[in-house]
Every structure is written in structure tokens, then in C-alpha cells.
Amino acid sequence: MDVKKVPSLYEWIGGSEALYRLTAKFYEKVLQDESLRPLFEGMSPEHPRHVADFIGEVLGGPQSYSEHRGGHTHMAARHFGRDISQAQRRRWLDLLLETADEIGIPDDPEFRSAFVAYLEWGSRLAVINSQLPKGTATAESAPMPKWNWGVPGGPYIPEDSGTQKP
């Protein structure tokens, strides 16, 4: 029986390097965007790295964000009091996906379906959290979300292609 190892979404996207390229380029654009700039003005120069680490962990990569930044609880609290609108959420998502296309993040249907599903879920959660006042008490142990391929469960790799992604 030929059993193929299904890579994590983190492996499929290209790991930490690919995620950092994505977030670095994306946040350059964010600061030029009239709708999003007010939410991100004054962000730390390390913000793109932190977001890359967070997304990487969610997609099955190392637990860098949890170990060094405080995990999901910390990320949720970063949104408190920001009053993010649905229009800003949609613009954030559109700009991130545009950037993903520009830098060559995998665009196969299975990966993009899983990736966009996470970004939709996460950005909608950010809007909800942004309505809470800064300083709101949070659960100390909110688990880090873990995203995977879902159904059918892995990337499409044609049987006769002779090539496989990582």
C-alpha cells in the first residue's frame, strides 16, 4: 500500500520564510491603505514577524508564538478596543490574499480553501474581540486554533504527475 504523508498547511505554504515574506510585504501595503492604516499606525517593527509566527503555529508549524508571545489569549487581547469594522476586515482579507498571489503563496484549490477559511474565521473573531474594551479579562488558557486541510484532506497531487510538493 502506497501511503502518502500529507504535509501540514505550514509545510505546504513554505514554512516560516514564506509566511514572513507574506506578512512583511502585506504590512507595508497596510500602512499605505487609507482604511487599514489607522488600525496599524505605530505598530512594532516586529509585528509582521509576530503575525507570521502566529499564523505558522495555527497552520501546524512550531509553537513560537505561544512560547514567546502568550498564545491565542495574547493575540485575542491585542484586538480589544480596536473597533474593527466589517469593511476593514474585508479590506484586510482582500489585501492579504492579493499579497499572497503577488509573492507566490500556493494557489492550489485545496490549500487556498483551507487558508482562506482560517483567515475568514480569524478575521471575524478579531472583529468580535475588537468590540470588547481594552483591559477585558481573558481566559488564561484559550487554546491556540489548529487548522488543517479539512475535507477531503490534503492537497491535490495528480497520480501521474511524477512531482510532489514538500
- pLDDT at residue 37, rounded to an integer: 97
Domain count, the chain: 1
Any domain includes 111? yes
**Is residue 22 predicted with pLDDT exceeding 90?**
yes
47: domain range?
Answer: 9-130
Q: How far apart are CA 58 and CA 30, in angstroms?
A: 22
Any domain includes 57? yes
Any domain includes 146? no
**Is residue 99 predicted with pLDDT exceeding 80?**
yes
Any domain includes 116? yes
**Per-residue pLDDT tens digits for 115-150:** 999 999 999 999 998 998 888 877 666 788 999 998
162 Rama class: left (phi>0) / alpha (psi -120 to 50) / beta: left
Say what the pTM is: 0.86
Work out the average pLDDT over 101-106: 98
Per the prediction, the chain carries an average pLDDT of 90
- pLDDT at residue 15, rounded to an integer: 98
Q: Hey, which bits of the chain come out as E strands?
A: none
Q: How far apart are CA 130 and CA 83, in angstroms?
A: 5
Any domain includes 142? no
- pLDDT at residue 150, rounded to an integer: 85
Any domain includes 166? no
Any domain includes 70? yes
Where residue 31 sits, what CATH number does that domain have? 1.10.490.10
Any domain includes 100? yes
Contacts with 160 (C-beta within 8 Å, 6 or more apart), sequence order? none
